[in-house]
Structure 1
Amino acid sequence: MEMRIAADEDLKLTDTLMYYTNASAAVKSLLYRRSRSLADYQNVNKALDKARAKQRDIANVDAHQAETHKHFMEISESERRGG
């Protein structure tokens, strides 16, 4: 009987470990995607500042900035919702 209890506890611990391993991998992936999206957004903001200074291609860069901002916000919102 004691061996069965020990085996059940080991199984519970194994399941818990697998759950947290999978959850941490998902969080790591989300963090990478969000960080990459933020870097893209910051780069587009710099490009927009340069375009405004040169008075060239502002509309295209502004549209691209809006797209990257939307993408960043979607990732952030999915994080708030929990995945």
Structure 2
Amino acid sequence: MLTEKGIEHPYTFGDSKGLVIFSSSKRKEQAWQFMQWVFSNPEHDRLWLELTGMPPARADLMSKSNLCQLLQTKSA
């Protein structure tokens, strides 16, 4: 994100629908490891749903009863 010159700490926004690794990235391996970590743990999906109200990026996780219950609670 472009910022005004002199801004010390620019802010950006991202969510799970926007996780990508750019071909120009200098840290592709670290980015890939982070993505694997984020999407490999169902607890991360539960926390994501609990904190944002948005369903997890993996559709198969919606078959988990605890996530279904949480989603129903959030959407009510």
TM range (shorter): 0.3 to 0.5
Q: Which has the larger radius of gyration?
A: 1
TM-score, with length taken from structure 1: 0.33
Q: Higher helix fraction: Structure 1 or Structure 2?
A: 1
Greater relative contact order, per chain length (Cα 8 Å cut-off, separation 6+): 1
